[in-house]
Structure 1
Amino acid sequence: MLCTALPEVTDNLESTRRSAAVFLGSFSGRYEATSRRHFVARCTNVGDAHGHGNLNVERGALAAEAWVCALTAFELARRLADEGDPQTGDVLAKLEAVISNFGSLEQRVRRVEISSWDEQKLPAYYVSGGGPDLCTAAVICISGEDETGAMLLGRLLPVIASRSMAALILAFDDISASRHGQSEILSSCLDYLSAHPEVDASRIGIYGEGLSAALATDLALADRRLGAAVCDGGLWNWTRTQASISWITGTSHLSDDHLASAHRMRLARRLKCPALVVAGGRSIVSVVEAIKLESDCAAASIDLKVLMPQLAPVSDGEFENFAAYDEGIFAWLEHKLAPTSAS
């Protein structure tokens, strides 16, 4: 039965993430409102058991493992809740409480402000890679347009915590609201990570979700210090340009496949690091265009890969298997940002 695939209280992060991935991979549209509310309650109870049942144990690795398990359970509950469901507010409050507990543990998570060249302050969360003596890889992570920085932090902490990797979590709204160039602001984030004592300045990547994928592309075009980018590969600007031309002219501007390929490749050739393009689901990139770009890049020996999230259709849209999706993204980042001697 599907509900048996829900994460159990084992305080084992790998087991919890695997259970969540199996559950979402098996989810079906036949599980409608009543069942989903039941699953939300079940996941919330699992999160409570992880996040609050361990408050009396010694604050250390066991507590950290339990808290990141709780984050996965609460994120699963948030995804399952219907839009406008009163349970959602309660789940978000629980997510924030667990993040606070985890952050107080050896200062693994803390709020920081990134200063740009014009003294503008950008709020962010810094997730430590584990200790000041580590020379670790780091990733700049930017939320989608419909998520806050705290929501992205809650979702990614379990993935980051299982790796020796640091992260800087930013909100799309904070960057897009800036009066100045967004690439310049993100370059300031690169400056911050490069100067951090635990970060290897040669192993920094960027991950942009939703519209932030286009911001990640812009930085990968502008700054050679990036070692890897999860981005849109320039396809968002390409698609908008094509739509504008077609609307103005009333014709299909690029009916020639060779000419279309050349235009798609224009930005991809300028990327200064390996790229992973996420297509389908909540991504701004279409699957068809992403596959065409990947094929063109393979022919040109450009290091660009495409990832398509597993989706489960439901009556009011579709669910993304975030557990499997996030693991795939960070496994790719971990590989591309591995020390040169190891790779």
Structure 2
Amino acid sequence: MFLESLQNFHTAMGREEWVARWRKLGDAHRLAGELSLKKGAFEEATQACLCALTSFEVARRLLDEDDPQFGELSTRIEEAIDVFGSSQARKLQLVDISGCDQTEFPAYYLPGTGQDSCAPAVICISKEDETGVTLLARLLPVVIDRNVSVLVVSHADVSNHVPAKSEMPLSCCLDYLSVQHEIDDSRIGVYGEGLSAVLATDFAVSDRRVAAAVCDGGLWNWARTLASVSWLATNQDVMDEDAASARRLRLVRQLRCPVLVVAGGRGIVSVSEATTLLADCAAGRIDLELLVSRMARTPMGDIENFVPSDDFIFGWMEHKLAHSSAT
């Protein structure tokens, strides 16, 4: 509600004042969570921590990306996550994923709410300029009441490999989830943000076990293909729209699972590119959907309203992974 209301302001109170207000709000909720935890009131502690995490994320969104306060907010986020982890019966775990090249990298794992062995799971990859902890903090309020397990990894940990083998660490993540007793290994999806959306696409193409993907739908590779064609071709040889559509479909058909493309906001996919891809996929009867990020236009610049976007993404994941089980 706050982010939506910002577009009605014509004279901003000042970015720093808004950031300070939301940081103070987050601190108050985190303190309330700590006090509730000491009293043994675990549910109240959980809710307070979730409020703190969302408050800190709003403060982050109001900052310029190169603002030094990012580091300070990261510390506050980690402290709130520590309190959250102590308040949960189903513990948030920091686990080590063994890579196929004998290396290990960390990941955060939170089991779903159910006790059976048929729950879905999602591998979540942070943006290229964010840590796994940052993504985890934003997603916890979205996934806490859903019967879906999440494994959160950072872009840096899964992308620092030979390009041809960049999907291998993600396959190791899927291997880890597949042996967890509460997870149905036929219902594991992947979600990537920013350039990680490209990693999610490549992973879904290379590993047939992926049951649903929130990714770029091949548009990054398509843009590189188009740039190469334009560079090599003369003006008379420029690709017509029918040929372009056929090439886009050839790329996206490599994805053998339902796909959600998130366009706009701070992502790498433009709305116009995604809309064209959506039309091509509709004509080709390919299961691809589009989410356009909601933006609040403010005197401080455009700010992405992450709350409804995240809620839609995980609602879509739940629906598609449930359908995957039925199939």
TM-score normalized by structure 1? 0.86
Q: Residue 55 of structure 2 corresponds to which residue in structure 1? A: 73
CA contact 1:226–1:273 (8 Å) conserved in 2 = yes
Q: Residue 16 of structure 1 corresponds to which residue in structure 2? A: none
Q: Residue 192 of structure 1 corresponds to which residue in structure 2? A: 176
Distance in 2 between the 1:30 and 1:69 partners?
24
How far off is 1:187 after superposition? 1.0
DSSP 3-state at the match of 2:105? strand
Kindly indicate whether residue 2 of structure 2 is the aligned counterpart of residue 23 of structure 1: yes
Distance in 1 between the 2:236 and 2:256 partners?
31
2:284 counterpart (280, 285, 300): 300
Compared with structure 1, are the counterparts of its residues 92 and 33 closer, same or farther at alpha carbon in structure 2 (3 Å cutoff)?
farther
Q: Residue 41 of structure 1 corresponds to which residue in structure 2? A: 20
Distance in 2 between the 1:283 and 1:32 partners?
28
DSSP 3-state at the match of 1:27? helix
CA contact 2:222–2:251 (8 Å) conserved in 1 = no
Kindly indicate whether residue 40 of structure 2 is the aligned counterpart of residue 56 of structure 1: no
Consecutive unaligned residues of structure 2, counting only runs of 5 or more, are none
| Residue-by-residue CA offset, 1:298-328 (whole Å, 9 max, x unaligned) | 1121110011101123466521111111111
**Which segment drifts farther, 169-178 or 39-48?**
39-48
DSSP 3-state at the match of 2:279? helix
How many aligned residue pairs are there?
A: 322
Distance in 2 between the 1:32 and 1:248 partners?
50
Superposition pairs of residues 17-166 of structure 1, within 5 angstroms: 22-28=1-7, 34-57=13-36, 58-104=40-86, 105-106=88-89, 108-130=91-113, 133=116, 135-166=118-149
CA contact 1:108–1:130 (8 Å) conserved in 2 = no
Distance in 1 between the 2:276 and 2:323 partners?
31
Distance in 2 between the 1:86 and 1:295 partners?
42
Q: Residue 7 of structure 1 corresponds to which residue in structure 2? A: none
DSSP 3-state at the match of 2:33? coil
CA contact 1:203–1:339 (8 Å) conserved in 2 = no
Superposition pairs of residues 185-224 of structure 1, within 5 angstroms: 185-224=169-208
**Which segment drifts farther, 40-49 or 85-94?**
85-94
How far off is 1:207 after superposition? 0.2
CA contact 1:46–1:73 (8 Å) conserved in 2 = yes
CA RMSD of aligned residues (A): 2.3
Distance in 2 between the 1:297 and 1:188 partners?
30
TM-score normalized by structure 2? 0.90
Compared with structure 1, are the counterparts of its residues 291 and 338 closer, same or farther at alpha carbon in structure 2 (3 Å cutoff)?
same
Distance in 2 between the 1:83 and 1:244 partners?
32
DSSP 3-state at the match of 1:203? strand
How far off is 1:281 after superposition? 1.9
DSSP 3-state at the match of 1:204? strand
Consecutive unaligned residues of structure 1, counting only runs of 5 or more, are 1-21
Kindly indicate whether residue 261 of structure 2 is the aligned counterpart of residue 277 of structure 1: yes
CA contact 2:187–2:325 (8 Å) conserved in 1 = no
**Which segment drifts farther, 330-339 or 81-90?**
81-90
Compared with structure 1, are the counterparts of its residues 85 and 293 closer, same or farther at alpha carbon in structure 2 (3 Å cutoff)?
closer
Distance in 2 between the 1:335 and 1:149 partners?
25
CA contact 2:128–2:195 (8 Å) conserved in 1 = yes
Distance in 1 between the 2:296 and 2:70 partners?
20
How far off is 1:33 after superposition? 6.7
Compared with structure 1, are the counterparts of its residues 292 and 97 closer, same or farther at alpha carbon in structure 2 (3 Å cutoff)?
same
Q: Residue 219 of structure 2 corresponds to which residue in structure 1? A: 235
Distance in 2 between the 1:254 and 1:288 partners?
20
